[in-house]
A and B are shown apart, each in its own frame.
Chain A
Amino acid sequence: MNAHLLLSLPIIWPLLGVALCCMLWSRPRAQRITSLVVSAGLLLSSLALLAATWDGTVLATQFGGWAAPFGISFVGDMLSAAMVVITGLMAVAVGIYGLAGDAEAREAAFYHPLYQGLLLGVTGAFLTGDIFNLYVWFEVMLISSFGLLALGGTREQLDAGVKYVTLNLVATTLFLICVAFLYGLTGSLNMADLARILPTIDNQGLVTTIAVLFLVAFGSKAAVFPLFFWLPASYHTASAPIVAIFAALLTKVGVYAILRSFTLIFDLSLGFTAPVIGIVAALTMVTGVLGAAAHFDVRKILSFHIISQIGYMLLGIAVATPLAIGGAILYVIHHIIVKANLFLLAGVINRAGGSFELKEVGGLYKTLPWLGVLFLVPALSLAGLPPLSGFWSKFVVVKASLDAGHALLAATALAVGVLTLYSMLKIWNEAFWKAAPAASTAATERWLADTGTRRAMLTPIIILAAITMTIGVVAEPFIAFSLRAGEQLLDKSAYVEAVLGPGPQRSAEWQP
């Protein structure tokens, strides 16, 4: 397969999904099949992309055939390919999960087109090589997530929607303003071209200013320390599969954008960018985990843990050695799988235990021991216990920060890990261990009676838990891949050459 096909297919599949699901709007069953088929297509074509970029090749294509700095580039390197594979995996896993439970009510409310629209925005953002195009994919993702969050239209959701929409709109508009500033400074929007032009700019102070503005814009997408308030205000109101796909992908697109822009376009060693990211990372870890400790609703606990885990990824970016960047990449991959799985499990706890509120659930280990084991896999992985994926990703990040002399950051990361364990054990104790309240027992009986729902909900959970175990036990290839991806990020020459071609390049600068 050629580069054009490999890079276009991950966009074409979800777009096809949106188109077909819109056309089949009155036939939920046909929508389900379409949605699952295109998700599987996305997974397969992204695996092909990963295979083609595995050896470090950077693929590039120009949509519409317009030459490099002028047209829209799509670029696939190891990081992009890995992210798209994870997106495809999530699309399938959450897609299967979404068949269970209240699927009919969701489907009547345009769930499938919006779900595919979300995937389209996410894959587009991972593959694009043009900063304005990145803004457009952000908006595609955003409008779909608005629709998914408000799906159902309960009072809670409307309230959450108001906050989510307002804060996210401000963030993306700020992103657009940053793009304008960058364009005003360089005359180009192509990321590879920007990587080439920015070091030649005389006014490096202005470059740093724009870099920090980008950090604010992407940071509020990624829910970092002072900008995370939209996340715990909204995530817990959406239904389980929707919040799982949000938790897996949305904030990670923000992290990806920080990772990409601060390795390719901006320089982390510039001014005090790296120390600022380091402080933000520490505060993000601590506030997130403390917020989680204060709550007793499973979804709220998990929402706060998204924030604290984002801190670890930022920590890797702040330390900025090849090992640390590789660690951040491994962390993103591990986190997406584990966090989505935990939210899927939260949905199961709600079904089998009758509530998301920990005080009203209990005794699940007695009736459903296997569910308890399934919960412990992602929960302990999140806390970073060996031999699970979380251990290795934490290990790499912490080791990188110790190597670079950031002992305080490393200590914070370890302490937050302990507090994470506390939160996970709190869920375990309350939902699985303590005696069951009467309402909870009744819900468990209903759960046991409904085989179809059980199968649809547990299959993706088992698959994701198996992947978590695999990364934990056979860690070497995953770590090696992440480290190579990190090295590839820090050496921009391959990326620039793939997009603009070798030798002296044309500049996009416009001459009147």
Chain B
Amino acid sequence: MNSLILLTSSRIVLPVAMLFSVYVLLRGHNEPGGGFVGGLIAAAGIAVHSLPRGRSALLRLLKVSPKTLIGAGLALALLSGLPGLLLAEPYLKHQWAFPGGLPLSTTLIFDIGVYLSVVGAVLTFLAYYLEE
């Protein structure tokens, strides 16, 4: 897909999409949003960026294979449940801490895991079908 318009506009779309996806990811706990949607937005941004540039550009942009991203996401989601087990509570029972009023929790780790898995899964599909 050798379109000049897409090539130029995707330079702006990519950072905006990434920023917006992180925003959606972080607001997800109490408001609509979350890791899944955030991941889809990020994947869409990356897809727009790599459609005119081809598969090798996608892999250069990511630095790692999208398959690795799926694995890393799953591993993070899995790890986020372990603190609950260590405290003799059910698996995935999320733990919270408020250092200086900043709400930190293991749910955020879970959501980041979902985010990475979604980005990885979509881009794995995309990489198969991208032109070189």
Direct contact of A and B (CB under 8 A): yes
Q: Could you list which residues of chain A lie within 8 angstroms of chain B, going by C-beta atoms?
A: 2, 4-5, 7-8, 11-12, 15-16, 18-26, 61-65, 113
Given A4-B85, A25-B65, A25-B68, A19 contacting B90 (CB threshold 8 A): no
Bound state CA distance, A385 and B68, in angstroms? 50
A107–B13 alpha-carbon span in the complex (Å):
37
Q: Verify if B93 is at the interface (C-beta below 8 Å from A).
A: yes
Interface centre among A5, A63, A64 (most CB of B within 10 A): A64
- Expressed in whole angstroms, the minimum distance between the Cβ of B49 and any Cβ of chain A is 23
**Other-chain contact of B74, A19, A26, A62 (Cβ < 8 Å):** A19
B residues bordering A, Cβ < 8 Å? 65, 67-68, 70-75, 78, 81, 84-85, 88-94, 120
Contact between chains at A4 and B70 (CB < 8 Å): no
Kindly list chain A residues whose C-beta atoms are within 8 Å of the C-beta of B89.
Answer: 4, 65
Closest to B113 in A: A19
B67 pairs with A16, CB closer than 8 A: no
For residue B81, which residues in chain A have a CB less than 8 angstroms away from its CB? 8, 12
Q: B65–A5 contact, CB under 8 A? A: no
**Nearest opposing residue in chain A for B64, CB measure:** A23
Chain A proximity of B64: nearest CB distance (Å): 9
A64-B94 in contact given A12-B78, A16-B78, A26-B65 (Cβ < 8 Å): yes
Cβ of B71 and Cβ of A64 under 8 Å apart? no
Q: How far is the CA of A23 from the CA of B73 in the complex (A)?
A: 10
B78 near A25: Cβ-Cβ < 8 Å: no
> In whole Å, how far is A379's beta carbon from the nearest beta carbon of chain B?
40
For B74, the chain A residues whose CB sits under 8 A away are 15, 18-19, 22
Q: Which 7 A-B pairs have the closest CB atoms?
A: A22-B71, A23-B71, A65-B93, A19-B74, A8-B91, A19-B75, A25-B67
- Would you call B75 and A5 a contact (CB within 8 A)? no
Which residue of B is nearest A15, CB measured?
B78
**Residue numbers in B under 8 Å from A5 (CB-CB):** 85
Min Cβ gap B28→A in Å is: 16
Query: Most chain-B Cβ atoms within 10 A of its Cβ — which of A15, A18, A19?
Result: A19
In contact, B78 and A62 (Cβ under 8 angstroms): no
Closest-CB distance, B75 to chain A (whole angstroms): 4
Once the chains bind, are A20 and B65 in contact (CB under 8 Å)? no
Contacts of A65 in B (CB 8 A): 84, 89-90, 92-94
Chain A residues positioned under 8 Å from B85 (CB to CB): 4-5, 8
Known contacts A8-B85, A12-B78; A23 and B90 CB within 8 A of each other:
no
Task: Give chain B residues whose Cβ lies under 8 Å from the Cβ of A26.
Answer: 65
Q: Which residue in B68, B70, B91, B93 is a CB contact (below 8 Å) of A12?
A: B91
Asked whether, in the complex, the Cβ of B88 is within 8 Å of the Cβ of A4, the reply is yes
Q: Is the CB of A23 within 8 A of B72?
A: yes
Partner of A4, one of B67, B71, B90, B120: B90
Whether A64 and B67, one on each chain, are in contact in the complex, defined by CB atoms closer than 8 angstroms, is no
Q: Which residue of B lies closest to A4 (CB)?
A: B90
CA distance A12 to B90 in the complex (A): 13
Q: What is the bound-complex CA distance between A63 and B91, given in angstroms?
A: 5
B92 touches A20 (CB 8 A): no
Q: In the assembly, what is the distance between CA of A347 and CA of B53, in Å?
A: 46
Tell me which residues across on chain B come within 8 A of A22, comparing CB atoms: 67-68, 70-71, 74, 120
Least CB distance from B84 to A in Å reads 7
Assembled-state Cα–Cα distance A396/B67 (Å)? 49
Distance between Cα atoms of A18 and B84 in the complex (Å) = 21
| Residue among B71, B73, B78 making CB contact with A21, cutoff 8 Å | B71
Contact flag A19-B65 (CB < 8 Å), given A4-B91, A64-B93: no
Give the distance in Å from the alpha carbon of A5 to the alpha carbon of B82 in the complex.
10
- Are A20 and B75 in contact, CB atoms less than 8 angstroms apart? yes
Are B71 and A19 in contact, CB atoms less than 8 angstroms apart? yes
- A430, chain B: closest CB distance, angstroms: 43
Contacts of B88 in A (CB 8 A): 2, 4
Contacting residues, chain B, for A25 (C-beta < 8 A): 65, 67-68, 71
Alpha-carbon distance between A11 and B91 when the two chains are bound, in angstroms: 10
Question: In the complex, given contacts A19-B74, A23-B75, what are 15 additional A-B residue pairs having Cβ atoms less than 8 angstroms apart?
Answer: A12-B78, A15-B78, A19-B71, A19-B73, A22-B68, A22-B70, A23-B67, A23-B71, A25-B67, A26-B65, A63-B92, A64-B91, A65-B89, A65-B93, A113-B71
Bound together, the chains give a CA A8 to CA B92 distance in angstroms of 10
A5-B85, A25-B65, A26-B65 known; A20+B90 contact, CB < 8 A: no
